[in-house]
Each structure stands twice: as structure tokens, then as C-alpha cells.
Amino acid sequence: MTAYKQAVSVLVVIFTRDLDVLLLERSAHPGFWQSVTGSREGDESLIATAAREVGEETGLNTNRFELSDWQQTNRYEIFKEWRHRYAPGVSENTEHVFSLLLPERQAIRISPDEHRQWCWLNWKEAAEKCFSASNREAILALPSRIAGAKTR
């Protein structure tokens, strides 16, 4: 029996208080830059999925930083080339948005199977470099999220 991926995923925007954003370049798609993403496994909670994916893709331990659930979801069509990973007939994914706030840029340990390289960019440059519209929108929302956190 084939184990299919769940059509439920997380997007985790990793950033600093100075609004520097970490981007990863996909191994299978050179030029496709993104934040941490990944599908839920089994019955794990979405926050556990976010923490696991951050660890797998960057080597960062989310327990050391501020991992936030934005309580925001996006639905998008799964690229045709990746649909074979999902059950027959599944063509859309529900993405849950999270962020990880770091005090400063950190060294990253990527998984070469998933990513070619990584970089830190200011939020505007990072948003421009992202291939995913939902990822770009999340990055563009960072200044207002920081401002909102300061007023609480």
C-alpha cells in the first residue's frame, strides 16, 4: 500500500526582529526560493509539523525561539508534477501559516535532498524572490505583525 502525503501543510516564515527573512532554494527547482514548508505526517498537530519541518530543513530548534501560529490558511492547487504524491483525485492543498522569530540571523544546516542553498534577505527582497504567492504575502505581512506585537 502506498503512503500518500496529506494535503495539509505548513508554511513557516523564519525572520529576525530586524525583518531579515530566511529563504531556501529548492533542489528540484533551481531558482524557486521559499520559506520552510512541509506536509503534516500522521496525526501530528500543526504546531508539531511546523517544528519538525523547521528542524529538518534548517537545523534550528524551535524551542529556543518564538514559534507562532498565525491562525491563517491558504488553499492552492498542487503542481501537477507533485500530485502523484497524494491520493488519487487530490489536487488542492490547505496550507497553515506560522512564523519563527529569531533574535538575529542564525547559521543554517540545510538538507541537500530538499534545498540547494539558503540566504538571509531583508523582508522586501525576500518577498520579491519568493516564487509562491502565499509565501510572498506572509513575508509582506511581517512589518504589521511586528508592530502589532509591540503594542500588546
Span 18-62, pLDDT tens digits: 999 999 999 988 999 999 999 999 999 999 999 999 999 999 999
CB 134 within 8 A of CB 11: yes
pLDDT at 96 over 70: yes
| Cα angle, residue 140 at apex, residues 137 and 142 outer, rounded to 5° | 115
Q: For the residues of 67-88, what is the DSSP string, one character each?
A: EEEEEEEEEEEPPGGGGGGB-T
Instruction: Calculate mean pLDDT across residues 118-139.
Output: 97
CB 49 within 8 A of CB 10: yes
- Tell me which of 3.20.20.100, 1.10.340.30, 1.10.3720.10, 3.90.79.10 is the CATH number of domain 8-151: 3.90.79.10
Query: Per-domain residue ranges for the chain?
Result: 8-151
